[in-house]
Amino acid sequence: MGILNRFASQWVAGEAMGDGLRRAEEANRRGLGAILNLLGEHHKDPTEIDAAVQEYLELLDAIRARNLDASLSIKPTQCGLMLGEEVYWRSTETILDRVRSMGGFLWMDMEGSRFTDATLAVYRRALAVYPEVGVAVQANLRRTEADVASLLEIGGIVRLVKGAYREPPPVGTANRHETDANYRKILDLLFERGDRFAVGSHDSAMIEYAIEKNRTRPRRFEIQMLLGVRDPLKTDLSRRGHRVVEFIPYGPNWLPYFTRRLRERPRNILTMVRSFVSG
């Protein structure tokens, strides 16, 4: 597990809040913004849910005390959605009150498609009381274009990602090419009808597509990438004058996140095997 942990540190800041904060400080020194996320999902125990909310409140206090260019991103099932929409809303409201008191921004993650409706319902409630709230949307869901159009009508702010959860048809896209086509279609919609959003991608073609669109339709958009992925590209984009934000996960529940990263980038399995061999 020690070797596995060391390899996972490419994508995970560490197990403690201080680890995440140090990585956020490092990102800021490199000219990047930061989004901090406590790992963990599918909580059904109210004690675990309360602990996650308390961790986020303390994290917000630390961000303010250190004057970091950083925000939070919270997971629905970590904050109570497994127990119902109202439980998730109460957790979000508690966190949002602290975010609003410091004039900050809150991102809300998106998980598998069975949680999409409830997640968007809670997001709409949050947006109604505080405008500095965004939600992730996934291009590998065929419904997402319609969801984004609906959110733009009420001033929603979205982070467009391809999607880390396997979603087979008819709910999900059939293959990578359909996902890419859907991503571009949603980017077109955002540049046509949106004002402020995030391009969450490590795909150079998608990023350059957004940059090219911005030349004719200037919008407030930022590029978000995961910790440990395409660091030279982050630096290059920042030097070109684009706002780049690093998504920094941390926490003891890092293994599920780590395995998703391996599935997305199979060649990393070979790197991990080599690390075991070399000790």
Give 15's contacts (C-beta < 8 A, 6+ positions apart): 250, 251, 252, 254
Question: What's the rounded Cα separation, in Å, for the pair 44 and 52?
Answer: 12
Under a CB-based contact definition with an 8 Å cutoff, are residues 202 and 230 in contact? yes
Q: Which of 98, 159, 180, 261 is catalytic?
A: 159
- Distance, CA of 67 to CA of 65 (rounded, Å): 6
Q: Are 4 and 49 in contact (CB under 8 A)?
A: no
Q: How many CB atoms lie within 10 A of CB 97?
A: 12
116 contacts 141 by C-beta, under 8 angstroms: yes
How far, in Å, CA of 217 to CA of 213, rounded?
6
Contacts 24+ apart (CB under 8 A), 266-273: 271/7, 272/4, 272/7
φ, ψ of residue 138 to 5 degrees: the values are -120, 125
CA distance 8 to 163: 20
> Active site includes 109?
yes
At residue 162, the 3 state secondary structure works out as coil
The active-site residue out of 23, 98, 109, 142 is 109
Q: Which residues are registered as beta bridge partners of 225?
A: 246
Q: Is 230 left (phi over 0), alpha (psi -120 to 50) or beta?
A: left
- Give the active site residues: 109, 159
